[in-house]
Each structure stands twice: as structure tokens, then as C-alpha cells.
Homo-oligomer: A and B are copies of this chain.
Amino acid sequence: MSRKIRLGAFLPGGGQHVAAWRHPGSPSDGATNLAFHIELAKTAEKGLFDAYFLADGLSAGFAGGREGGSAKAAGFEPVTLFAALSAHTKRLGFIATASTTYEEPYQLARKFASLDLVTGGRAGWNVVTSTGDETARNFSRDTQLPHAERYARAREHVDVVRQLWDSWEDDAFLRDKESGQFFDRDRVHEINYEGEYFKVRGPLNTPRPPQGHPVVVQAGASEDGRDLAAATAEVIFTAHQNLSSAQEFYRDIKARAAAKGRDPREILVMPGVAPFIGRTLGEAQAKYDRLTSLILPEEGLALLNGLAGGTLDLTGYPLDGPLPPQDVTEGNKSRQVLIREIADRHGFTIRQLYQYVATARGHLTLIGTPKTIVDTLEEWFTSDAADGFNILPPWLPAGLEDFVGLIVPELQRRGLFRTEYEGRTLRENLGLARPENPWTRARSALAAE
């Protein structure tokens, strides 16, 4: 079987673009409208996407935002939402974001194990460390943990969660009505984890998930982030503006994974892409211009500042002038550098910069016909820049419908994408192996001696 492109879809009901909710074709209450999310999930499944992906934060995100402008200030908790959506779909995966800094591993492990059970093996966990003091202040802290500590904690957290998922062996349940043995006590294990941040006995009170482990996803771009991703992630979500940057990242991640003794093919690198699709280039450009015109200037400035972690206050500078020079400071360094790179490369004014960034917050924006867009996706896919893509439709539902109706058939025509789901679980569809249970492996090894 030839290698196929993997596709995730970022579908926050309020739309990805900062002005998406103002689009005449979008429901203004999409962010909190269950029926609309059900419709999106069904469309994504019709388009044979691997997974529905949702980012998540643990604050209303007012810091740096325009007062009262954001459609993302309030929405669903993703695992609860996905459990509800799963009843309306059969094959689509669900990748939910959850925090290693503000959730206990025992709770997180069982929540995702439950989602995996409820969906019949379609769950994924996007591991985040949750930045920002605004979030910390919702959790009895004044400031967030330092970057390095957040990542060290994340590393332990993922370890604990994985060990908890393995605490029941797959064949632990006997359910023998005759003898009264419900499970084999020798096939369920305390994990007795003792680390710097966590001390967890186990076992989990949820069976081993259908997938063994829900698919582990990561999006770190910093050194610590890349290291965590290479060590733990099976899917990596990443933002690149051009092929060479994506290739550098792809090579780096695969090399880091190999250095840790992992098979690089077991780590899928999936850059984000925000597409504006038209039957003609003019139609695509018109869609871009239409959406872009809906951004209020104060919203655009707040967006740039928010992306840069509050280090880029452009209030007072002429919107149609250049980005003023400024030193890169601590906090969201990689995002600050990315923003300046975009401005420099395109020679953008401040207005053009926020218009550009607003479409996908630093991800690759493609404005074109099915042919030109698929040309780019194919080039990235076949030249060691991507194993697939996370699609961020700028507004909904039309941005997703355009992709399913126009891009998917072209990908299929070129043999780059599936024409039906290969498997029942997210892992099967992504072509990722089901993790072996270490307890079972140890027993088998012993028996073979």
C-alpha cells in the first residue's frame, strides 16, 4: 500500500479566523451550538478525515484580546463535546486537548480511556502545558510555572498516564459467571510511580483503552517542546510558512525520535494549513478578501499582541506602515520570531500582517484552486516536509465543505488520499501500531525462556 496523506480538521464551532463568526454564512453562535458541531463532524467524516481536532485553554483568554470581540472566550470542554459527537459518527477520530499542568494524571488517563471506550477506539490526546498567568490564576497560582518546569512535569505526566492505561492487561477480564472470577488479579497492576512531580499507585479504574493508548499528539516548537514531542508524540501538529522550514522541522523531529530509539515512521508530522479554495484563483482570492475585510483593526492588533504573548503592543503605529523594530523577549519566543519572519518575507504593513496571521495564527495559508492547493500539499508530502496536514478551515461550515467537496476528490484522483476508511480505530486509520502492553510482553518473555 502506498503512503497516504493523513488529515486532521480543526473545527472550533466559532471558526478558526478571528472574524469567522461575523461571516454571513456562519452561525454567530457556532462556538456553543451542539447541532452545528454535529453537522461539522458529519461533514468531516464524509470527507474521510482521520480526526476532528480541538484546541483548548483553561481561561477565557481576555488578556491581550479585544474587549468583547472574541467568539472563542467560551465554548465546550472538548472531551465532553466529543463524547456527544461520537454518537453521530462511526469512523472519525477525536483529538482533544488536555493540560499536563492543571490536570491530575489519574483523572486525565481515565477521561481519555473513557472517551476511547465510548468511541470504540477513536480518541486522541493533544498534550499541552497551558501557558499564561491568566490560566494560572484560575488554579490557585499567581503566575505560571517556568517553561522548563512545565515541560519536565509534562514528561512525567505522560509517563504516568501511559502506565495507567497499561495497568490492566488486555486479557485481564475473565468474566466467568460460573467461578465468580471477574478478572485475573495477576493481570492488573499497581504502577507505583514515584517521580519528582507525581506519586501514583494505580491501577486505573478503567480498562485498557481499545487502542491500547489513545493516540498521543503534541505541538511543541521550542527545544523542550520538540524534545517532548520526539519522546512521546505519535502525531505532531506544527506551523510553517514555507517548505524549507517544514523540512528542517520534519528532519529534526524524525532524527530526535530515532535518537530515542523510536521508529521515525511511527511519528506523523502534520503541519497546519488554512485553505481558501475557489474554482478559479479569483474566486479563492475573493473568499480571502471577504473574510479579511471583517477584521476590526483593534481586533487585528490584539491578535498580534496575543500571539506574541503580550510582547507586541502596536497601538498608535500607523496600520498601513511597517512593523516597528523590537527585540525578541522571553515568552512565546518561537511565535515572536515567526510573526516577524512573515512580515519581513512578504513586506507586510501592520494591517496586512494581522490580516494574514488572522487566517490561521501562523499556519500556512493557501489561496488557490484545487489544482494549486493540492500541488503544494503533494510537494510537502513527497519531499519530507509532512506526513499529512491539519486543515484549519478559516470559517465554517463553508471552509470545511469547500475542502471536502473540492480538495479531497483531487487528492483522491492523484492517489494521495484514501477513498474509504481503512480501519475502525483512529490508530488503524493513521497507520499507527497498537502499543504492546509491557506487562504482557514481560510475561511472554518469561514464558519463552
Contacts and interface: CB of A to CB of B under 8 A. Distances in A.
A296 interface: yes
A128 to B, nearest CB: 14
Interface stretch (A200-208, A226-234, A331-339, A368-376): A200-208
A52 interface: no
Contacts of A118: 34, 76, 80-81, 84
A181 interface: yes
B107 A102 contact: yes
B57 A139 contact: no
A140 B104 CA distance: 9
A203 B60 contact: yes
Given A83-B83, A84-B84, A115-B80, A207 B74 contact: yes
A182 B68 contact: yes
A441 interface: no
Contacts of A115: 80
A175 B28 contact: yes
B22 A177 contact: yes
A327 interface: no
Interface stretch (A183-191, A253-261, A313-321, A399-407): A183-191
Nearest to A186: B68
Nearest to A79: B80
A123 to B, nearest CB: 10
Interface string A140-171: 11000000000000000000000000001000
B81 A207 contact: no
A440 interface: no
A434 interface: no
A410 interface: no
A106 B177 contact: no
Greatest chain B CB density within 10 A among A113, A206, A299 is at A206
Contacts of A241: none
Given A21-B182, A80-B111, A296-B180, A138 B201 contact: yes
A17 B6 CA distance: 47
A58 B110 CA distance: 9
Contacts of A120: 34
* Interface pairs A-B: 8 shortest CB-CB: A87-B87, A83-B83, A28-B175, A77-B114, A80-B114, A137-B201, A68-B185, A84-B118
A349 interface: no
Contacts of A433: none
9 contacts: A29-B173, A59-B205, A68-B174, A68-B182, A68-B183, A74-B183, A87-B87, A102-B107, A137-B201
Contact of A205 (B61, B67, B180): B61
B140 A198 contact: yes
A217 interface: no
Contacts of A71: 175, 182
A143 to B, nearest CB: 12
A265 interface: no
A75 interface: yes
Contact of A117 (B32, B103, B296): B32
Nearest to A110: B77
Interface string A44-83: 0000000000000111110000011111011111011101
Contact of A206 (B22, B74, B183, B299): B74
Nearest to A197: B140
A279 interface: no
A86 interface: yes
